[in-house]
Amino acid sequence: MPELPEVEVVRLGLEPVVTGAVVRAVEVLDERSLRRHEGSSEQFAGLLEGARLEAPRRRGKFLWVPIEGRDEALVGHLGMSGQLLFREPGAAAPRHLRVRLTLEGPNGRYDVVFVDQRVFGSLAVDVLRPAPDAPDDPAERVPGQVVHIARDPLDARFDDEAFVAALRRRRSPVKAALLDQSLVSGIGNIYADEALWRARVHFARQADGLSARTVRGLLGHVRDVFAQALVEGGTSFDAQYVNVNGQAGYFAHSLNAYGREGQPCPRCGTPLRRVPFANRSSHFCPRCQRLR
């Protein structure tokens, strides 16, 4: 599933061409891609056609585009295989096309298409609501379906010390805490494994047994991994994740732990291991990340 860096790369790609554009037409080819929208496909189209869009925003893995003059936004979640791509009007429909938006903006007329092979992603029009941690700031409003999502470590208003304290109260493995989007958003399996490897912390260590210093260091590694992944365009293991121009990211070549089972640890040379963890897999070094 795309994680924070992949969604941020898509947001950055959308921003210069979506901001200020007007939605001229909406075509829904598969209503399954509106599973998070409370209404019919006709209502979805009616809410968007004629609307002027503002700069896209993101929290964790959710992306949304506020609608000018209304307390609503177009919300997107890429799920396992969702893609938001630019196309010239009249271009051949890509495989697995689910929704097409025709926009007219500062850069001309073009289509934004939502392509999703596995149909786990979604688009929706949702009401903007006050953020729980900034209820009096209109600029911090988020879609209703995003209210329960915590800020991510790249958010300027992310509270480091509150996060450290909250994680150290968790009576669960530290990796489970990192994956909890109500505690900290944007971290998925890939980047959790990478940050834990960098911090030399075993994924199954109890969160409430970690020192504040260790948690601060782990948070710093999460930010470093995110920053590097953004520079390299995100992580692509197959054709499922691409940016708005259909280009794959190449951070997969920089991974130290995830997906490298049996290969030598870049730090100590010990073969890396992969073990089941909460319906996923965890990749780690049994020497550098010992379970105390």
Annotated catalytic residues are: 2-3, 61, 280
Residues annotated within a binding site? 96, 118, 170
Are 254 and 26 in contact by the 8 Å Cβ rule? The answer is no
111 φ, ψ to 5°? -105, 140
Residues annotated within a binding site for DNA? 96, 118, 170
Q: Work out the angle between the directed axes of helices 160-168 and 212-231 (0-180°, nearest 10).
A: 120
